[in-house]
């Protein structure tokens, strides 16, 4: 096989699938864009904290499952190694960078984080993103002004690298697709989605036993641009109450590397556990999707700069796309 044939094969291997019929436009419902929240696994966790810090004026809380501090990789692919299994940059250096970005208006003021809430998790059998990295995320948030009472850190469950559910997915200590693991904690199946949402929004009603709403596919292309690696389709869980016109909040759930719908089907957006809680509490759950690309062969969210030097700022390609999707969902007046 010649060089051109090899290049063509590589492009085919990482190119997103093109659907014959485009998904419908992202619908709009009623709600307050200043009550949104975000969580994620792995690259989605790094991205979630990045999003929380950058948009702290309107994002009220974050869930970080196997992720690290803001700007950890400092715009370098090689920086990801230290931010997963090594020693991340000093907290003081990352805080100084973030304060500089805020002073220039690239991200919201860090002072907003004093009023925000966070859930942080590392499985004790996770060898992909080590517990020390999650500790660094805790140190960053504390250094940025988030009170200890607003942060829940859990690291005592023998989980591999994955989102934790009460009963769905791999056994607890495994690390493999679909990167959803069922684990026991406190004498029962651990409901991580409930722990995340309950930490961000205290006083939630119990999850719905039967879902009233539905998952809706939507066209992500109007929100994307060149080099951002966004898939053509994203998904959103719409509770019946939101469909009926009641005001709803938005929670953004960001999958990890190799965990998009193109890789694991509906595993994440249907089984990560958010939808039952959302159904009972009028929360729209946005599941944006990233596909593999030449610059992003693992289908990760951009926490290290493949989409541009501004990746960690509000104007970063993926950042502004997610924000536009979240705002659109509650723009119905």
Catalytic residue positions?
42, 126, 161
Question: 269, 237 in Cβ contact below 8 A?
Answer: yes
Question: 29, 250 in Cβ contact below 8 A?
Answer: no
324: helix, strand or coil: helix
Dihedral sign for Cα atoms in the order 173, 50, 34, 259: negative
How many Å apart are CA 184 and CA 172, to the nearest integer?
8
Number of CB atoms found within 10 A of residue 169's CB: 22
How many Å apart are CA 269 and CA 194, to the nearest integer?
15
Q: What's the DSSP call for residue 219?
A: E
Question: 251, 37 in Cβ contact below 8 A?
Answer: yes
How many Å apart are CA 320 and CA 248, to the nearest integer?
21
Alpha helix (H) ranges present in 59-177?
Answer: 79-82, 91-103, 131-143
Number of CB atoms found within 10 A of residue 6's CB: 10
How many Å apart are CA 79 and CA 56, to the nearest integer?
25
Specify the DSSP element, H or E, that contains 228. Answer: none
Q: How many residues does the chain have?
A: 333
How many Å apart are CA 254 and CA 67, to the nearest integer?
12
**Comparing C-alpha atoms, which of 159, 187, 145 is closest to residue 41?**
159
How many Å apart are CA 85 and CA 65, to the nearest integer?
15
Question: How far is C-alpha 284 from the geometric centre of its chain's CA atoms?
Answer: 15
Question: 21, 45 in Cβ contact below 8 A?
Answer: no
């Amino acid at each position: 096989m010649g060089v051109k044939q090899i290049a063509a094969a590589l492009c085919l291997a990482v190119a997103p699938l093109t659907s014959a019929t485009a998904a419908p436009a992202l619908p709009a419902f009623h709600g307050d864009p200043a009550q949104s929240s975000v969580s994620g696994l792995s690259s989605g966790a790094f991205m979630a904290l990045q999003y929380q810090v950058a948009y702290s004026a309107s994002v009220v809380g974050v869930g970080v499952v196997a992720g690290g501090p803001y700007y950890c990789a400092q715009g370098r692919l090689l920086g990801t190694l230290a931010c997963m299994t090594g020693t991340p940059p000093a907290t003081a250096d990352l805080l100084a960078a973030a304060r500089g970005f805020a002073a220039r208006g690239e991200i919201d003021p860090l002072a907003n984080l004093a009023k925000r809430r966070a859930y942080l998790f590392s499985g004790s059998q996770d060898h992909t993103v080590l517990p020390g990295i999650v500790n660094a995320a805790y140190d960053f948030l504390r250094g940025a002004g988030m009170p200890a009472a607003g942060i829940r850190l859990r690291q005592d469950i023998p989980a591999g690298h994955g989102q934790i559910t009460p009963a769905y997915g791999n056994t607890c200590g495994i690390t493999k697709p679909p990167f959803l693991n069922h684990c026991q904690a406190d004498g029962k199946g651990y409901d991580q989605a409930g722990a995340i949402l309950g930490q961000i929004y205290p006083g939630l009603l119990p999850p719905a036993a039967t879902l009233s709403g539905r998952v809706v596919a939507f066209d992500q292309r109007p929100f994307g641009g060149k080099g951002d690696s966004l898939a053509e389709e994203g998904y959103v869980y719409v509770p019946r109450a939101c469909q009926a016109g009641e005001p709803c909040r938005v929670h953004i759930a960001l999958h990890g590397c190799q965990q998009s719908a193109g890789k694991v089907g509906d595993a994440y957006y249907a089984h990560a556990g958010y939808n039952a809680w959302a159904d009972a509490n009028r929360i729209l759950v946005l599941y944006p999707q990233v596909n593999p690309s030449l610059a992003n062969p693992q289908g990760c969210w951009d926490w290290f700069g493949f989409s541009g030097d501004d990746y960690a700022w509000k104007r970063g390609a993926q950042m502004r796309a997610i924000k536009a999707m979240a705002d659109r969902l509650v723009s119905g007046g």
